[in-house]
Amino acid sequence: MLCEKCHQNEAAVHFTEVINGKKKEMHLCESCASELQPEGFSFMPQINFHNFLGGLMGHNVGPGSFTKTATKDLSCEVCGLSEKEFARRGLLGCGECYESFKHTLDSLVKRIHGTNEHNGKLPERSSDRVKLIKEIESLRNQLRQAVEAEEFERAAQLRDSIRDVEKRLEQEG
């Protein structure tokens, strides 16, 4: 798919906006997307991703100001990136930053997604086998919780469901 702005490069950045049930999409190359970054993504309302990210991290971000509301400023021991700089740029400096900013990243992901546990969807083209494995994993988690809560009747039903799904998985293989 070509960039909708320059019509020359391959689109690598895809924006989707849904307002009042109306969906608007924009597909841009990296170059055109970076040109839009300073003023926002040309969607309404105008927002700058880095300011948005900084706000989620507890920073007051505005024209000419960048102050942190929290008391301590973390920095990565390997690359020296500060939490303040991470919030301003929206990019981590190295692989060790994930560990250095673990608490900040965990709370940030939780604020954005509602949880910091990945429960994403599987692609439509993924095999039924993968879906069955995920279903078994989910049922086993439910079974563990039922046993801990001493809900033995529910646990027996879940055990039976796991066996059924495992049989379907064997038939797939």
Q: What is the pLDDT of residues 23-62, one digit of tens each?
A: 888 888 888 877 764 444 444 444 555 556 556 565 554 4
Pair (20, 74) in one structural domain: no
Pair (53, 102) in one structural domain: yes
Pair (54, 110) in one structural domain: yes
Pair (77, 134) in one structural domain: no
Cα of first residue to Cα of last residue in the chain, in angstroms, is 36
Q: State how far the Cα of 158 lies from the Cα of 154, in Å rounded to an integer.
A: 6
Pair (10, 67) in one structural domain: no
- Total number of domains constituting the chain: 3
pLDDT in tens, 61-101: 444 444 444 445 778 999 998 888 887 777 888 999 989 88
Residues spanned by the domain of 162: 128-172
Model-wide pTM > 0.75: no
What CATH number is attached to the domain comprising 10?
A: 3.30.60
Q: Name the nearest CA neighbour of 137 among 157, 115, 113, 166.
A: 166
pLDDT in tens, 116-156: 777 666 666 667 788 888 899 999 999 999 999 999 999 99
Pair (110, 168) in one structural domain: no
Q: State how far the Cα of 17 lies from the Cα of 44, in Å rounded to an integer.
A: 9
